[in-house]
Amino acid sequence: MIGMGSVLLMVFPSKAPWMMDGFFTPVIAFEFIQSQSEVYQLFGLPGSPDQLFMSQAMIKAMDLGNRLDYIFMILYASFLFFFSFVCAKNTGQRHYYAACILSFIILVADIMENIQLLRITAKITHHDFGKELFLLHWFTWIKWGGITIVFLILAPYFFKGRIYSKLIAAMGISSFILYILAYFNRSVLNELLGLSVSLMFLMMIVYSFIFTTESGK
């Protein structure tokens, strides 16, 4: 996950001609885009599809990142599945299996999200990607919502641990709260949501290496 995430950071464009208020990451802005005019502005084509050559480099970078993202989504969804599975196995509490099921839903939503993103850039010169924007909205929010709900389900498990574990629980709850706030107010909250989810994953990865059972294993 860490390796593939680093690759995506290098591949996805780091700057855009324009982004919605509060956004500073082009790929995050693209995921939460709402209209055709915003798409053209994001890629530097405000109302001028004929000038597509001006943003070819950005479109190619975005498409390459979204194609490589299929590898990353399999990795992080698998991580969520197995982490939740081990929590259920170690505690004997079946409700953690709900997080395992959600990991599959998250993966499907992310796959469908990327399909819409790739279709939008493919149709950018035709100005007929309204359907893709509509579907993108729902698949994007299902994906982010599913991830933060998994964190919320796992929060009680982490709260039973020591200080670092409790910090993970607090971060997971914060991510879910940010998701709710961002849904009703598209702004810098969406970027903070992305950052909190990334930090949560990193903290869980570290936890996976330092975790020990009561017997010290």
Q: Is the pTM of this model over 0.85?
A: yes
In this predicted structure, what is the pLDDT of residue 46?
59
For residue range 173-195, what is the model confidence (pLDDT) as tens digits? 999 999 999 999 999 999 999 99
CB 46 within 8 A of CB 35: no
Q: What pLDDT score was predicted for residue 169?
A: 97
Give the model's pLDDT for residue 119. Answer: 96
Report pLDDT for 52: 57
CA distances from 136 to 62, 112, 215 (A): 15, 8, 47
Residue ranges in the chain modelled with pLDDT below 50: none
Q: How many DSSP H helices and E strands does the chain contain?
A: 8, 0
**Residue in 200, 198, 103, 217 with CA at minimum distance from that of residue 158:** 200
pLDDT at position 217, please? 59
pLDDT on residue 125? 77
Please answer whether residues 23 and 188 qualify as being in contact, where contact means their C-beta atoms are separated by less than 8 angstroms.
yes
